[in-house]
A and B are shown apart, each in its own frame.
Chain A
Amino acid sequence: MSRNVSSGLKTRMAAAVVALSLMAMPAGAQGTHLLVLQGLSGEPQYRAQFDAAVRQVREAARTKWNVADSNVVLLSETANPATKALPATKENIGNAFVGLSRRVRAGDVVLVLLLGHGSGEGPASKVNMPGVDPTAADFNSWLSGLSRQTVVFVNAATGSGDFVDVLKGPGRVIVTATKSAMERNESVFSTHFAAGLSGDAGDGDKDGRVSVLEAFRYATREVAKVYTSSKRLQTEHAQVSDSLLAARVAFGGAASSSDPRIATLVAERQALEADVAALRGKKASMAADAYDRELERLLLAIAEKTQAIRAAGGKQ
């Protein structure tokens, strides 16, 4: 029996198109902006926890996501000349959002990371900041200036759960450390979300980019482990508002290239990856040996494409 090569190719290319549309939207392809708001810590241990999270995310933004320093704004518990951080007062936060709305372009990705201790409920939910505490409603107002951007708003503070209902909307992914305003005990979510977003471990599919959903899943898994291993009842349950968008927004190196040769290789590799996904869908109905053989063939082909991309000077 002869094999219809052309129709097979067409099928694969079609699959690749579908796959591309579902794949992560690499934040590096657009402009990426980072606004970090570090609230009052209260105790040295929390200060250290918040500082570490900020450090990790800033470092990743600079070294892995290629975010320009000019696109990073840090407001902190106190002014910090070393990091050029201003105090995170309500006024400074509002100004930061205004400045951001003037700098961003349509399609840019804005990551807002909020650390601290929360209070209040519903639209009046707050995070303790120097001076007057801004509410969820205030943040909603400030975010209205970013309607043409994709906004990832992460409130990693305790008692942050009600921010989701207040802030969620089109083009926004809202992540909170807790499921409600009532979960106000000490939270470890910020530590693990920052680690997931900035480290390799959070990259669940090992494609070199960390989506918001991957970081969220990483964090929720690790938070659960903390409570299980210490035999404590879990008192924080993180939530994410839009998991589809969260899966598409990713931070990290993009596989794009202006070199048409590399672009072709990347597209071919994506087609092969789509084939793997399709094969996995058929696993239950296939003989194990046949499945393994086909899987290995596809994976070797993918590996060879990667090798070829590298040889041609492309990134991953």
Chain B
Amino acid sequence: MKRTVKRIQNTRRLASIVAASVLLAACSERVPAQSTARPGPQNAVLAEDILTAEAALRRGDRATAMRTAARIVETFGGLQNPTSGDHVTVGRAHAILGLGDASSVRRALASFDAAAAADPNNIEADLRAGTLFLDKYNAPEARTSFQTVLTKSPGNARALLGMARVEDFEGKGDALATARKAVAADPKLTDAIVMVARMHLEAEQYDSALTHARRALATDSTSVPAWAVLGATAWVTGDSATFQRARAAATVQQPKPAEFLTELAEAAVRQRRYADAVRFAGQAVELDSQSVRALGVLGTNQLRIGKMAEGQRALDQAFKLDAFNLWHMNTLELLDDMKSFRTIERGRFQLVAPAEEAELLALYILPLMEQAYDSLAVRYAYKPPAPVRLEFFRDHADFSVRTVGLTGLGALGVSFGSLLAMDTPSARERGDFNWGSTAWHELTHAFTLGASDNRVPRWLSEGMSVLEERRAGRGWGADASIEFVGALGAGKLRPMSQLNDGFLRPRFPQETEFSYYQASLFCEMVEAQKGAAALPAMLVAYKKGLDTPGVFKQTLGMTPEQVDAAFEQFMRGRFAKPLLAVTARDSVATGPFVTAMKEGVAMLERSQRDSARAAFERARTLFPNYSGDDGPAWFLARIDRDAGNIGAAIRNVAEVTARSETAWEANMLEADLREKNGDDAGAIAALERLIWIHPYDPALHARMATLATKVNNHALAVRERRAAIAVKPPDLLDARYELARALASAGDVPGARRELLGVLEEAPSFEKAQGLLLQLRAPRKPPVQKP
């Protein structure tokens, strides 16, 4: 996944924001709490039946569970004076009946409300309500319910577990710490131990995951979730014996182990092994066609591997069973919208984009992707299956839904292997991102994932993707920012061996962004110190099933501690100068570099150009590899331009464009200066960089075409004339005429004539086009000589 944009904070799961409104609406319709309830012992028959029903559900015997739950509801209806406990029981029954029936969910919530109204001390009602809210994706209400319990019963283990789940769902707080509190409060609370195990599995901390899964089983050997986490961890680490044992044990508890398989499928997703996820989820659905979770995992991941029709069918089915699921609803709506998208297939790629933009994007991105494919295939000795599907979304919310089912994802692109998805350049403000480097980044994932059999950890895959960006284009790929150096100096960056947490559990808003850069620097260090073959070798080592310490040992000959130390040394060396010049205090950068920049700007405002120049020169010496497009080089370039020092201005502005992939103004200035200086090829290169920032300006394409013609690069001129048409210029016919001219210059006279005929068909009076048609008229055949 391409790094987040700095202005958008990382948001992992935003379900509650959107879900709350829907669920609150649903809850407002629920049956009011009944006033006939009372405290007291609950009905023994009902209590027995609900245990039977829930046990049946855990076994996967949904029919028995539903039948028993229906009987409970019927029996409850005949009770004269139901107790608070009876209300909880019937609520649990309604919850079981809630599959595909939203009204039962509302009845369940109403029952829990009635129970709480009858006996405010019945914390079971709040615990059950909280759990149901969370099952239906309403985290705020769930939080309120669990908080109510914790107010009444501080340290309640089940409430703490509920809070941990809420925190995990929302991506806020420290879910792992809260889950650990739940375990501390009740060391035998199996579900809490399972949650700790699962979170370790998600963080790719497999030893800890195994330890906790085993601890959970020690408290309850019949826990299918515990066996599932154990089995999933074993599968991920290639421990087939443990995996088989876990599967067999889960099958004893659940003869049709759909839950086990679904857990496995989700673990496969976290490993980015989407095809495996589809396989496991498909098996789960075969065993339990009513499992919303299994259907969701199946459909979502079918869509991620390009099985669009199958994925839509699975999600349709899931949505019929659970209309509360926003992920599924959003995705289904997006799939409907995507029916109007245009697909362009060329070579090894399939571009899917909004019809209005497909042609323009294809002109640039498909050749770039072919180039990337060839380059990366050599470097990583691996070829992802073709065609690689590249989806573009003009609305960032749509891209976000395509990726995670919800809006709010702060990423630019995503790779699911042979399916890449990203924003169109029009989805963001000009200068927000570089769509070429983003696509290159995502395609690199397809190679690193494939070469490692999807076992490469997130941090390394991201590091390689950023490194490949830097190799691919001038200015592409993250470079040092003032904030990064500040964080490095302040000791806020994680050691290499813990970098995965920088992606999965960022501690501050910019940590994810810093982690991308940090990971890429690690890759640079490895290449510099161990040679170009070291990084591909790491992928192969992961493919063989080695964990990260094992990979370090085999490919780098180092322990994690040694890697951390070496990288720390590498960083301190690389940023030795900036570290002396930048200090971060309370998230505000200070230090000699900042002082010099401020002085330079102030002097410039007072038109003291020589003094300003000296200040900016000093700033450049203090932080030579500053990457922003507002650094000393940018100011120096403009001072030189204004002073008529074109050569110096070019050198300075080139420093900016070499380090920033989104520097629109700097590239435009470079193009202007180079063209003025007679460097047409240099101007073309700057214009090309502008296109990767924002390709929608017809004038930019026309200018580039003119320059290309001037330097006799007719193929480039044709591409640019086609682009000028694709952006729907104000004068479309004239743009088509220019394309005809470019085609003719490129030697494609038949193509030029076709284009001209199309133009003149629309506008027979178009004199320029008439003239060109006469020039290009087919040579007349010589008269046939009669014998």
Contact = CB atoms under 8 A, between A and B. Distances in A.
Given A229-B696, A303-B774, A206 B766 contact: yes
Contacts of A280: 761
B702 to A, nearest CB: 12
B771 interface: yes
Interface string A22-64: 0000000000000000000000000000000000000000000
A205 B762 contact: yes
Given A229-B696, A303-B773, A200 B765 contact: no
Given A204-B763, A205-B763, A208-B765, A306 B770 contact: yes
Interface string A292-316: 1001101110111011000000001
Contacts of A195: 730
A276 interface: yes
B728 A225 contact: yes
Task: Report whether over half of chain B's contact residues are helix, strand or loop; otherwise say mixed.
Answer: helix
A279 to B, nearest CB: 9
Given A229-B696, A292-B757, A302 B764 contact: yes
B321 to A, nearest CB: 36
A222 interface: yes
A201 B734 contact: yes
A140 B136 CA distance: 64
Contacts of B774: 300, 303-304, 307
A222 B774 CA distance: 32
B49 to A, nearest CB: 56
Nearest to A298: B764
A298 to B, nearest CB: 8
A218 B362 CA distance: 27
B295 to A, nearest CB: 35
B777 interface: yes
Nearest to B733: A206
Interface residue tally of chain B, by bracket? 20 to 34
B763 A299 contact: no
A195 B731 CA distance: 11
A192 to B, nearest CB: 8
B694 to A, nearest CB: 11
Contacts of B770: 299, 302-303, 306-307
A220 to B, nearest CB: 12
Contact of A206 (B696, B757, B769): B769
Interface string B745-770: 00000000100010011111111011
B773 A207 contact: no
A273 interface: yes
Contacts of A296: 753, 757
Given A229-B696, A300-B777, A303-B773, A273 B764 contact: yes
Nearest to A228: B356
A295 B731 contact: no
B734 A207 contact: no
Identify which of B734, B764, B770 gathers the most chain A CB atoms within 10 Å of its CB: B764
Contacts of B777: 300
Contact of B767 (A204, A206, A221, A276): A206
Contacts of A225: 728
A306 B761 contact: no
A107 B551 CA distance: 89
B52 interface: no
B426 interface: yes
A282 to B, nearest CB: 13
A284 to B, nearest CB: 14
Contacts of A204: 733, 763
A299 B734 contact: no
B426 to A, nearest CB: 7
Nearest to B778: A296
Contacts of A205: 762-766
A276 B730 CA distance: 25
A222 B696 CA distance: 14
Given A205-B765, A300-B774, A316-B765, A218 B757 contact: no
A264 B763 CA distance: 21
A50 B703 CA distance: 28
B405 to A, nearest CB: 23
Nearest to A273: B764
A296 B769 CA distance: 12
Contacts of B753: 296
Interface-central residue, A206, A207, A208, by most chain B CB under 10 Å = A206
B730 A222 contact: yes
A298 B766 CA distance: 14
A218 B733 CA distance: 13
A292 B754 CA distance: 9
A316 B764 CA distance: 12
Contacts of A229: 426, 696
B765 A206 contact: yes
A253 to B, nearest CB: 11
Nearest to B731: A201
Most buried by A among B730, B769, B777: B730
A283 B762 CA distance: 13
B693 to A, nearest CB: 15
Contacts of B731: 199-201
A271 to B, nearest CB: 11
Interface in B700-742: 728-731, 733-734
A33 B767 CA distance: 28
B48 to A, nearest CB: 60
Interface in B425-439: 426
Contacts of B764: 205, 272-273, 276, 298-299, 302
B296 to A, nearest CB: 31
B729 to A, nearest CB: 8
A206 B765 CA distance: 6
A223 to B, nearest CB: 11
A207 B763 contact: yes
Nearest to B754: A292
A300 B765 contact: no
Contacts of B769: 206
Contact of A295 (B426, B761, B771): B761
B557 to A, nearest CB: 53
Contacts of A276: 760-761, 764
Given A200-B731, A201-B730, A306 B767 contact: yes
Q: Which 5 A-B pairs have the closest CB atoms?
A: A206-B766, A201-B731, A303-B770, A207-B765, A206-B763
20 contacts: A201-B731, A204-B763, A205-B764, A206-B733, A206-B767, A206-B769, A207-B763, A207-B766, A208-B767, A273-B765, A280-B761, A292-B757, A298-B764, A300-B773, A302-B760, A303-B770, A303-B771, A303-B773, A304-B774, A307-B770
Given A299-B760, A299-B770, 6 more contacts: A205-B762, A292-B757, A295-B757, A296-B757, A302-B764, A303-B774
Interface of B: 426, 696, 728-731, 733-734, 753, 757, 760-767, 769-771, 773-774, 777
Interface of A: 195, 199-201, 204-208, 218, 221-222, 225, 229, 272-273, 276, 280, 292, 295-296, 298-300, 302-304, 306-307, 316
